[in-house]
Structures are given as structure tokens and as C-alpha cells.
Structure 1
Amino acid sequence: MEFEKLKSCDPSIKIFKENSFNGLVEGITTIEQLKSHHLIFVKDKKYYSKLLDHLKINPADQLVLFIGQSMVEQINQSEFENYLNRFSLIVTVADLSLSICLLSKVFYDEFTKAYDNLNDGRLESQIDPSVLMAPHVFIGKNVKIGKNVMIHSGCNILSGSSIGDDTILYPNVTIYSNVFIGSNCRIHASSVIGADGFGYYYKQGIHHKIWHYGGVVIGNNVEVGACSTIDAGTFVPTTIGDGSKIDNLVQIAHNCTVKNGVIFCGQSALSGSCQVGNFVVFAGKSGMGPDTSLGDGSQVGGGALVSKDWPAGAKLAGHPAREVGDWLRSNAFIQNGIKKNNKR
């Protein structure tokens, strides 16, 4: 993508610093998956601090940094000077959130222009001869389907997706474009994998859309219950690790990273950009707020809502979620207060 095309979408773009920039941007990236020659948005001090941490361990260079005017002072700090050679271009914009909406549309159009989800694309797809496919299945272009896959009636597999060996799609499953499902998975009826995440920016009476093209990557031996949804990442994939099990009516939002062996019971949910460690368990109707993390082996009780980061092995209950012992003591305190009040 030529940088001049991006400038035409947001007239407020101003070059702050330039370092051997070749005029091309390959896509949009995030701090968790930094990619060379990609654009990254840094909105606030918290995200800026995370960026510095990731630059220490990620070798990506030739990055294009977009910041709001309010972040200029942060960029001028000596701590950042050590990383200036990793950026080919630093740009300021008047409204970073609006710029994300405007520029994401440009890249979305670029990445999806080859997709054709209105016409049958079987002749342009790689479908193993062993695949069992019921009537009334739609397959887009450039789809890859492995050995012994079973696809039930009413399924829709959109362009540019991939399904690994021995996986089963039950009736009316929809797999959006840029979704990659591993081997030996089971996706139950009416689930949707890879739909747009819920991302908007409100300004002057308009909800401006943030366009999602990051897709979803699901590992091996994963099971997804009926009527569950896993949303596409904004610019990088939402990921589900090997061996994870997802119950019915579960929502996993954009940009989440779920590691191996995680259990989601019915009606549990993750907000955007959650980080979930290995073998975490979510009981029914539990959930996580945006940009929060849970360490390996944590357990979240029924109806609990996680609103901050927790280390490995945490056992949580209540709203906001807290250690089970604290939750039990607070409940006991309330109940004792009620009993004393009733005796008056």
C-alpha cells in the first residue's frame, strides 16, 4: 500500500520523523505481533509503555508509527530514542481513533478484493477427495479442506479459509474469510467463526466502523458448541489454542489470545483483546473485560466478571472478580449485617 494513498484518506496526517522510508506500508500490526514494514497505532501512554516492552524482544523494524498529537511528548523522551532506528516513519494525526477507522477500511478493501463470496468457488479451491459434503453447502474461492473432513448441510465456508484433516462442521456453521481451523476439530450447529468484531468510534453523531480483516486461527482438537461465536481479529488473528473446549452460546471477541486446553462453559464471554493462559476454566456466565489477562490454570466462577489482570493459578468469584476467599468473606459480612439488622 502506497503511503500517499493513506494520506488521501486522512488529511490530518503529518510526518513527524522519517528514517529511510520507502513509501510502502504492507499492513497494520499490533504490539503483540509486531511485523516489519507495517503500520502501528499508539493511542495512549499505557499502550506506548507496552510497545517499548515488546520492542525489546521483537526484532521487527521498518515500522510506521501513528500517534496522536498528545503523544508527541512521549516520543521525545530519551527512553524512546533508543528505538528510533526501528521506525522508518513517525506520523501524527489530529484524531487517532478516527484515523484507525479511515485507514482500516483501505487495508480491508485491499486484503479482501480477491475474495468472491457470492459465486461457487469449488473449482478454484483445494478440496481433498475424501471430504464428505452434504447438499446445500457454499464454498468460496481459494478454500483449503483437508482429508476426511465432514461438512453438513447449510454450511458456508467463505473465500480464503482453511479446514484441517478430520474436522467436522455441523449444520449451518458459517466460516468467514481468512479463518484457519486445525485438525480433528468439531464445530457445532449455527456457530459463526470470523465475523467482524464489534469495534466503533463515536464522533459527531456517527458510529465510525473499525474494519476487521485479521481473521481467526483455531488449533487442533478444538470443539466449539452450538450457536457460539469467535470474532475476527482487527488486524491480526483471534487465536484459540490446541485442545480448547467451548460450550454453547459462548462469545469470544476480537483480538483475543486463548492458549491451550482452555474450558468455556455455557454463556461465558471474552471482551476484546483478552489474554487467556493455558488450561484456564470459565464457569457458566463468567467473563472478562477488555484488555485483561489470566495466567495459566486460573479458574473463574459462575457469573464472575474479570476486570483486571490476574496471575497464574488465580481462583476468582464475584463481580468484580476477586479471590474466592475474599468473595466468601465479603458475602459472609453482608449476610451477618442483614441478620443483625433483622433482629432489631
Structure 2
Amino acid sequence: MSEPIFFDAPEPVQLSEIAAWADAEIVRGEPGQLISGVAPLEDASAGALVFFDNTAYLKQLETTTAAACLVAKRHKDKVPDGVAVLVCADPYRSWALVLAHLFPQAMRPVEPGEAFISDRAIVDPAATLEDGVTVEPGAVIGAGAEVGAGTVIRANAVIGRGVKIGRDCVIGPNCTVQHSVLGNRVYLHPSVSCGQDGFGYAMGPAGHLKVPQVGRVIIQDDVEIGANSTIDRGANRDTMIGEGTKIDNQVQIGHNVVVGRHCVLVSQVGLSGSCTLEDFVAIGGQTGVRGHVTIGMGSQVAAVSVVSDDLPAGGRYGGTPAKPVKQWFREVAALRKLAERGGGS
């Protein structure tokens, strides 16, 4: 069986062009040197570009056979002789910029070619699709839905009645989108569910009475949502996802949640109904946020934490319940000492 290759190898590029893309300075190497690909530090062949920004990989850097390395100024002297050095402020960010130029098809996983609507898709006559929309086999688009130019609806996705989707979006395979309004350049990875009922019940001894969920989901521009994540529509107001926010796989967002701009939610985060994340909040994996709390702008919450009260802006928090990290670390250290003392008695 032949080796499967899913992304075409880039054409060789001069080091000077790589430096321009990366906003980097060539401090060692010839501007005309050709770069023919990218690789990890430990598996780089002649012509490959690598990056280094974590001292945990120092041994791999010391033995790399790459052609060139993106590196911060403080680490430039650690790059082996014979490897061109490109100094930049943030090697990982520069790496991302270079990859976007070398592998543009990996930025938006849509095969090149003319837009088309498959004869095996079902598009209601009352739906409105701008020119340049692609609808793959098995997709369903309901009455009154609107889809903007350049958007791709992948195989077996379901776009519900009245849904509005902006331009240059990607709706991944097996996604379901209902009661939702999406901006431009929104990317839903496979099997995202968006706009379904929020979890609302009036509990009582006679049984649990379902509370109708009559809000929407509003997703602003440049949001990316990972595979198998779920976003419930609002109960009596809208669930909101702010522009530029990035959401990992298997994240649950409850009804009436407001997520600000440029937030980052890592895998398996759970946001309970009516909580609010202000702009630039970052939450580590498997963290839960209680309903009706607010996490202030720019705050960071460590993985596997529980946020049960409001958190002020700009802080770093962790633990159960979440608290400032310095306090959390002191409590963990004190508990460890207490356990050690008890074990030796």
C-alpha cells in the first residue's frame, strides 16, 4: 500500500521569504537558501524548517539536522552549527504564520475546485444560497435558511429552518445547526451540535416539567468549534459566542451562556447555563463552570478546576473550588505536608 499523503508538499521557498512570513530576522544563514518542507526537531531532514520554544526539547534541538530553525533571541545560541537561525519574538506564532503560507489547504479543509451543490443533497426551495456555496452529498438545508458565498456544507450536515450562515464558513460533516445565526468565517468541525434545546426543567414531586427554550445561538465572526462540541440555544435570551473565540473538541456550552471575544476553551470544558466569560478568558481542559457566574476579562483557569463563584478580571485561578493560583499552590503544599506527617506517625 502506498504511503497516504493528505497535504501536498510545498514548493521550495527561499529563507528570506520564510523570514518575511514569520516576521523574523536571519542571524545565521543565506537569504537565498531553499526551504523545502517542515518537520519536528528530531525528524528533520535536509531542507526542513523547524521551530524551538520549549526547553523540554533542548536535546532534540542539539541534534537536529534541519536546514533552519525559528527561535527566540534568548535561545539562538543553542541552535547547532550548520542550521540557519531565524530569530523571532514568538517562535510558535511565527511557525503558524509560515505553515499557513506553505499549507493553505490545511487552514480550511475544502478540496480545491468549483463550488457545487450535490444532486444527493436536499435543499429546500425556500432556502437562499448565495453564489459559490458548496453543498456536499447527504447534506440537508431547511426552508428559510440563508447561506453566504464561499461557505461549504460538508456531507450529511443538517442546517435547520431559518438558520443564517455567513460567508466563507465551513460546516463539517454530520453537524447539526438549528435556531442559530453564524457570522463569517465560522468553522464547525465534524459532528458539532448547535442550537438544540437547552437543559431546562421545572423540577417537582409530580415530575419534571419541560421549559420551552425560545432563544437562539449567535456565533460571531472567526469562531472555530471543535468536533463533537455542543452549544445549546438560549432559554429566554440568546446563547452568544464572541468573535475570534476558539473552542476545542467535546466542549459543552449551556443555554444563555455568553462567551466573549477571543476566548479559548480547551477540551471537555463544561459551561453551565447563564454563566458569562468576558473577553480573552482561557479555560483549561475538563474544567466546569457553575451557572450564573462571571469570569472576568483576561482571566485564566487551570485544567480540572471548578469555578463556583465569580472570578475577577486578569487573574490566574485553579483548584476546586477555583481560587488564585498562589493560594491554591499553598493549600496543596500544606495538605501534602500534613499527609506526610500523618503517614510517619
TM-score, normalised to structure 2's length?
A: 0.64
| Displacement of 1:269 | 1.1
- Which deviations, in whole Å up to 9, do the C-alpha atoms of 1:40-68 show, x marking residues without a partner? xxxxxxxxxxxxxxxxxxxxxxxxxxxxx
Q: Does residue 319 of structure 2 align to residue 342 of structure 1? A: no
Matched, 1:164 2:190: no
1:1-344 alignment to 2 at 5 Å? Answer: 122-176=124-178, 178-344=179-345
Aligned-partner Cα distance in 2 for 1:331–1:193: 39
* 1:189 Cα deviation from its structure 2 partner: 0.5
Q: Which amino acid aligns with 2:285?
A: G
Give the Cα separation in 2 of the matches to 1:262 and 1:204: 40
Offset at residue 205 of structure 1 (A): 2.6
251-260 or 309-318, which moves further after superposition?
A: 309-318
Per the TM alignment, residue 121 of structure 1 is displaced from its structure 2 partner at its CA by 5.5
Deviation per residue, 1:286-319 (Å, 9 max, x gap): 1210100011000010111100111111211111
Per-residue CA distance 1:251-303 (angstroms, 9 max, x = gap): 00000111100000000110000110101001010121010001100001011
CA contact (8 A) 1:132 1:148 kept: yes
User: Aligned equivalents of 1:220 and 1:172: distance in 2?
Assistant: 22
Which residue is 2:48 aligned to?
none
SS in 1 for 2:218: strand
CA deviation after TM superposition for structure 1 residue 123, in Å:
1.3
RMSD: 1.2
Q: What residue number does 1:117 align with?
A: none
Residue in 1 aligned with 2:87? none
- Work out the CA distance in 2 between the residues paired with 1:204 and 1:266: 36
Which one-letter code corresponds to 2:141 in the other structure? I
Alignment partners' CA distance in 1, 2:126 and 2:342: 73
Q: Which has the larger radius of gyration?
A: 2
Residue identity matched to 2:140: F
Secondary structure of the residue aligned to 2:328 is helix
Specify the code of the residue in structure 1 equivalent to 2:329.
L
Task: Return the alpha-carbon distance in structure 1 between the equivalents of residues 322 and 206 of structure 2.
Answer: 35
Moved more, 193-202 or 121-130: 121-130
Deviation of the 1:122 alpha carbon: 2.5
How far, CA to CA, are the matches of 1:208 and 1:237 in structure 2?
21
Unaligned runs of 5+ in 2: 1-121
**What SS is found at the alignment partner of 2:202?**
strand
- Three-state SS of the structure 2 residue aligned to 1:124 is coil
Higher RCO (CA < 8 A, seq sep 6+): 1
Secondary structure in structure 1 of the residue aligned to 2:196: coil
Whole-angstrom distance in 1 between the partners of 2:250 and 2:274: 19
Q: Is the 8 A contact 1:121 1:142 kept in 2?
A: no
Corresponding pairs, count: 225
Letter in 2 for 1:127: L
Q: 1:132 is aligned with what amino acid?
A: T
- Residue 159 of structure 1: how far off its partner (Å): 0.4
Find the residue that maps to 1:123 and give its secondary structure: coil
- Percent identity for Structure 1 against Structure 2: 35
AA of the residue aligned to 2:343: N
1:70 aligns with: none
Give me the whole-angstrom Cα distance separating, in 2, the residues matched to 1:204 and 1:316.
Answer: 39
